[in-house]
Chain A
Amino acid sequence: MVKPEAIRYLVGIIAGMLVYIMIVYINMAGWETLIGSLAAGAVASLYPKSAKKAIASGVASPLLGIISIIIYYSIINLYGVKILFSTGLILYIPIITSLIFGSFGAMVVYSIRQFLS
């Protein structure tokens, strides 16, 4: 049996992922990764009850978003994705940035939740 708590975590992470994808799709002159990741982290950390879990969820949702984007690229241009994996920093920068800001989003929201509780 899957615990209801796990489902809540999952729902939060997936919601965060969707928020991430929607925001990074909008052209904001470079700000979209920052805003998308913060928002994704924030959404994913609405439920978790500990700081660690909140940050883990905040990292997981943009990570899933990034993975979804890579899967989409693989479907339309598998060759291009193979090249992407050889680019080093070009591959890592969007991933690392998204994960860092996802965790920040989660950290801030969790702190606000703690503050309000």
Chain B
Amino acid sequence: MSLNRRKIVQLSLSIIIVILISNIYLANSQLLLLSRPIHGVWGNIRTASYTSMSIKLEGLLSPVRVYYDSYGVPYIEADNYRDLAIVFGYIQARDRLFQMDLARRAASGRLSEIFGSDFIEMDKFYRIIGMHRTAEETIKYLEESPNYGFIIEYLDAYTLGVNKYIQEAITNNQLPVEYKLLGIEPEPWTPADSLVIGKLVGWGLSGGFRDLELKSFLDANGYEALIELDLLNRSLNTPILAEYQTGQAEITVLTSDIPGDDTNEILELYYEAMSIARLLVGPGLSNNWVISGNLTDNGYPILANDPHLSLQAPPVWYEATLIIPGQLAVRGVTFPGIPFIIIGRNQHLAWGFTNVGADVIDFYYYRWEDGKYLLIDKYISPRSVTEDIRVKTKDGYDIVPFKVNYTVHGPLYEYNGTRYAVRWTGMQVTLELLAFYYFNKAKNIYEFIYGQKFFGVPAQNAVIADDDGNIAYYPAGLYPIRSVLPTYSVSGKRIINYGFLPFNGSRGEGEWMGYIPFEDIPHVINPEQGFIVTANNRIVGGDYPYYLTWSWSDRYRHDRIKRLILNILSEEGAIGVEDIARIQGDIHSYAAEIILPLLIDQVNTAQLSSYSYEAYNLLVQWDYEMKSDLVAPSIYITWLYNVIKSLLGDEYEAAGIEDVTFLPLETLEWILKRAAEGDPDMHKWIDTDLSELITTALEDSVELLREGYGDNIDQWIWGEVSKYSISHPLGTFLDWLNYPDYPGQGGPFTVNVAVLSLTPPSYTVSTGPSIRFIVELGPESTSLLILPGGNNGNPFSPNYYDQLETYLNVGYKEAFIPGDLDELYDVVVRLVFYG
């Protein structure tokens, strides 16, 4: 080959190789975007580093100052509500945009647009529930209302701020890493998006398809369970208010047949769809309590709250301080996307919530003929709404039209010919945003309670304390009153279906005739006892005239907190903030204190292997502390799980119920106690000899732990067997987005709760205190707050999980409200926004 030809070949080859590889590279748009060292994911290292500066934000009437402390908590000081809302929107989006976006998409049934067809069934579910439609209706209602224009203005201003950030982030390539990784951009925010996020939280805390789950359980196992397992009376549960009687419920009862349509397949779909709500919210258990100044060290009330929601990266809550000098100074947490503080304190009072768990979702079935449903005496065609679901494909989007049918009661959930209309209190215009507005600016408990009149969904146990020394408990919310209730004959007794089972809509059963009047909702102001504790347990005893729910959470956390408060008061005479912090961190299992002796009594030690005997002895000697360095909690939880599986596993399976904790732990306690007393009704639930069942369950548990953690029993410590493994929604694919793992402590029924994903012999803590919050009112006021992670959603930010270790050690940081921003001593970034 001549020299020239060789040169030509060499040059041509070089160019061809470059073009070929460049083409492969350019064809992969994701690779193209990920390879950018300045404008790609790497660039978010820069955006995570906030520096003091002035930022132009069109629309502001006056300059707004935003100071960030070292925990990434913003303090926003504006001259008026409009400016405050604009900047709060901008700041929230800057810190948590992807989380806001994901929540609004999930609630509106629009996840397939970014994740593809795997999410289509989930999207259909949320299209049926129709939170986005209700949110739009609420906006329209607020716009047309002569009284609530200021809320719409505030919401519009917040939306403006969010959109300013979105626009800026797109222009400057500063979108959160999740967008860069997924190769997508956010759409503009709308006022309805903020409402739809509130609806999603409300839905997640409203109990879901519990009526259908119960029906399925009873269909498979007999309606006698309602009586035999004490499901309706829940006599072991402790009421928050020991004595309470008010109001008069008027009901009509009619004899009815037990509802017939099979629900198993519907439940399967439901569980899949609810996974996103569970991911965002969790089961919604919580503790709060308030103590009068008569019982505290400094003579002023103390309030504590730890709402138990899903633990995730970033946390479900966002912390902020909002200040309008002379008008507003409030600090606390909100769900990203919502423009007010939801749990927190201002200069005059503090408040906290736990979920009531009221039965606010009903199901209706009908007689159908030619596509029409029977309503009393005539057949009616369902009304329908058709929406297009955009489903992401390789080349763009497919459009999937989806029709939602409605009866007079609500949207129809349909599968294979089984149809139920769903009615939920959240499917109508509700004004929680207005309630938050009043909470944030309330000057005493009475102004707060006035705001609660606007609070609809989900009903919340509010505890409130003000610096005048008042304390109060008011579980405000919408509680439906049903008329024309069906009665069933069960074991010779009449059972009235108050709303815990589906209604025959064709017969006019279960129509909602209104809601429990606000004044009739059980409440107390300045109780004689001097304190109020709530932990999702029942509100009142059986003499209260209205039906609230049957599925109260177990009493164990409530009773433990109450016992600890009474112990401290009897030993020390008064209670202080440090005592309250100790209670929030308590990992003594009161449930184990009750259940474990019942189990131990039944063990036939002669049948135990040497390993099981050693495990048994550890349990006998255990002090019920769920400490991470102890072995006993691992054996106890695994044993408890196996006992429940052995007792009720077949019953759950026959009913298509996935969650083995569907029935409360008090049901197990009921069965064990009754069985020990020789109650013949319990034979049906215990297929075999109880002692044999419990002994075998212990043997199986020990085997499971041996398989998982080896023969050395000392290695089965709770901190190894259970883990805090807090993950990001995209963390399955990108581990670096997840928080680091930490050893577990506490358990599903301890005050410092650790709700576990039950995958023995290892357990992941999926839900826990989503904040820990303590306020001592008075002139020397103390506020403490901690998040299970960090306030910033950018994984490159030092505030991504800077609070996590402190949280796990039950430590706190101060949550101080400055009278003026210049009083702040921990400022790391100063921003000034101007118009």
Complex contacts, B796 vs chain A, CB 8 Å: 77, 79-80, 83-84
Complex contacts, A32 vs chain B, CB 8 Å: 36, 38-39
Q: Is B37 on the interface with A (CB-CB < 8 A)?
A: yes
Complex contacts, A34 vs chain B, CB 8 Å: 22, 25-26, 32, 35
Verify A77–B42 contact, CB threshold 8 A.
no
Q: Is B246 on the interface with A (CB-CB < 8 A)?
A: no
Verify B49–A80 contact, CB threshold 8 A.
yes
Give me 9 other A-B pairs in contact (C-beta within 8 A), A34-B32, A93-B31 excluded.
A25-B38, A34-B26, A80-B797, A84-B45, A94-B36, A97-B35, A107-B18, A111-B10, A115-B7
A-B contact pairs, 29 of them (CB 8 A): A24-B37, A30-B36, A32-B38, A33-B32, A33-B36, A34-B26, A34-B35, A38-B18, A77-B46, A79-B797, A80-B45, A83-B800, A84-B42, A86-B736, A87-B41, A93-B34, A94-B42, A97-B31, A100-B21, A104-B18, A104-B21, A104-B22, A107-B17, A111-B7, A111-B10, A111-B11, A111-B13, A115-B8, A115-B11
Q: Is B15 on the interface with A (CB-CB < 8 A)?
A: yes
Contact with B along A4-44 (1 / 0, CB 8 A): 00000000000000000000110100111110001000000
Complex contacts, B26 vs chain A, CB 8 Å: 31, 34
Closest chain B residue, CB of each to CB of A37 = B35
CA distance A84 to B351 in the complex (A): 40
What number of A-B contacts does a CB cutoff of 8 Å give? 118
CA distance A80 to B800 in the complex (A): 10
Contact with B along A49-60 (1 / 0, CB 8 A): 000000000000
Interchain CB contact (< 8 A) of A87 among B49, B736, B798? B736
Verify A114–B34 contact, CB threshold 8 A.
no
Verify A77–B32 contact, CB threshold 8 A.
no
Report the minimal beta-carbon distance from B48 to chain A, rounded to whole angstroms: 5
Complex contacts, A86 vs chain B, CB 8 Å: 736
Q: Is B29 on the interface with A (CB-CB < 8 A)?
A: yes
Complex contacts, A38 vs chain B, CB 8 Å: 18
Complex contacts, B21 vs chain A, CB 8 Å: 100, 104
CA distance A94 to B216 in the complex (A): 54
Report the minimal beta-carbon distance from B12 to chain A, rounded to whole angstroms: 8
CA distance A111 to B17 in the complex (A): 12
Report the minimal beta-carbon distance from A105 to chain B, rounded to whole angstroms: 8
Complex contacts, A25 vs chain B, CB 8 Å: 38
Complex contacts, B8 vs chain A, CB 8 Å: 115
Closest chain B residue, CB of each to CB of A66 = B37
Verify B14–A111 contact, CB threshold 8 A.
yes
CA distance A15 to B800 in the complex (A): 38
Q: Is A2 on the interface with B (CB-CB < 8 A)?
A: no
Q: Is A1 on the interface with B (CB-CB < 8 A)?
A: no
Q: Is B499 on the interface with A (CB-CB < 8 A)?
A: no
By Cβ-Cβ distance, the 6 closest A-B pairs, closest first, are A80-B796, A80-B45, A30-B32, A77-B49, A97-B35, A111-B11
Interchain CB contact (< 8 A) of A94 among B17, B22, B40, B797? B40
Q: Is B173 on the interface with A (CB-CB < 8 A)?
A: yes
Interchain CB contact (< 8 A) of A90 among B17, B25, B32, B41? B41
Interface residue count on the B side (C-beta < 8 Å): 40
List CB contacts (< 8 Å) of B610-645 with chain A.
none
Complex contacts, B44 vs chain A, CB 8 Å: 80
Q: A73-B42, A84-B42 are in contact. Are A98 and B49 (CB under 8 A)?
A: no
Q: A33-B37, A90-B34 are in contact. Are A114 and B11 (CB under 8 A)?
A: yes
Verify A30–B29 contact, CB threshold 8 A.
yes
Verify A83–B46 contact, CB threshold 8 A.
no
Complex contacts, A33 vs chain B, CB 8 Å: 32, 35-37
Most buried by B among A86, A90, A110: A90
Q: Is B795 on the interface with A (CB-CB < 8 A)?
A: yes
CA distance A97 to B31 in the complex (A): 9
Complex contacts, B800 vs chain A, CB 8 Å: 83
CA distance A100 to B24 in the complex (A): 13
Report the minimal beta-carbon distance from B574 to chain A, rounded to whole angstroms: 43
Q: Is B693 on the interface with A (CB-CB < 8 A)?
A: no
Closest chain A residue, CB of each to CB of B32 = A30
Residues of chain B at the chain A interface (Cβ within 8 Å): 7-8, 10-11, 13-15, 17-18, 21-22, 25-26, 29, 31-42, 44-46, 48-49, 51, 173, 734, 736, 795-798, 800
CA distance A88 to B35 in the complex (A): 13
Complex contacts, A64 vs chain B, CB 8 Å: none
Report the minimal beta-carbon distance from A45 to chain B, rounded to whole angstroms: 11
Interface residue count on the A side (C-beta < 8 Å): 38
Q: A34-B22, A84-B796, A104-B17 are in contact. Are A24 and B45 (CB under 8 A)?
A: no
Q: A30-B29, A111-B10, A115-B7 are in contact. Are A77 and B45 (CB under 8 A)?
A: yes
Complex contacts, A90 vs chain B, CB 8 Å: 34, 41-42, 734, 736
Report the minimal beta-carbon distance from A68 to chain B, rounded to whole angstroms: 10
Verify A94–B45 contact, CB threshold 8 A.
no
CA distance A33 to B42 in the complex (A): 13
CA distance A114 to B6 in the complex (A): 10
Closest chain B residue, CB of each to CB of A23 = B38
Report the minimal beta-carbon distance from B559 to chain A, rounded to whole angstroms: 43
Complex contacts, B15 vs chain A, CB 8 Å: 108, 111
Complex contacts, A31 vs chain B, CB 8 Å: 26, 32
CA distance A89 to B733 in the complex (A): 12
Complex contacts, B40 vs chain A, CB 8 Å: 94
Q: A27-B173, A69-B42, A94-B36 are in contact. Are A77 and B31 (CB under 8 A)?
A: no
Contact with B along A91-117 (1 / 0, CB 8 A): 001100110110010011011101100
Verify B42–A88 contact, CB threshold 8 A.
no
Report the minimal beta-carbon distance from B98 to chain A, rounded to whole angstroms: 16
Complex contacts, A76 vs chain B, CB 8 Å: 45-46, 49, 51
Report the minimal beta-carbon distance from B371 to chain A, rounded to whole angstroms: 51
Complex contacts, A112 vs chain B, CB 8 Å: 11
Verify A83–B17 contact, CB threshold 8 A.
no
CA distance A112 to B8 in the complex (A): 9
Q: A80-B797, A88-B736, A111-B11 are in contact. Are A93 and B35 (CB under 8 A)?
A: yes
CA distance A25 to B37 in the complex (A): 8
CA distance A8 to B691 in the complex (A): 88
Closest chain A residue, CB of each to CB of B6 = A114
Complex contacts, B38 vs chain A, CB 8 Å: 24-25, 32, 69
Verify A94–B39 contact, CB threshold 8 A.
no
Verify B36–A79 contact, CB threshold 8 A.
no
Verify B14–A107 contact, CB threshold 8 A.
yes
Q: A33-B36, A69-B37, A114-B10 are in contact. Are A79 and B25 (CB under 8 A)?
A: no
Complex contacts, A66 vs chain B, CB 8 Å: 37
Complex contacts, B36 vs chain A, CB 8 Å: 24, 30, 32-33, 94
Verify A94–B35 contact, CB threshold 8 A.
yes
Complex contacts, A24 vs chain B, CB 8 Å: 36-38
Closest chain A residue, CB of each to CB of B36 = A33
CA distance A97 to B24 in the complex (A): 12
Interchain CB contact (< 8 A) of A98 among B33, B37, B46, B51? B37
Complex contacts, A94 vs chain B, CB 8 Å: 34-37, 40, 42
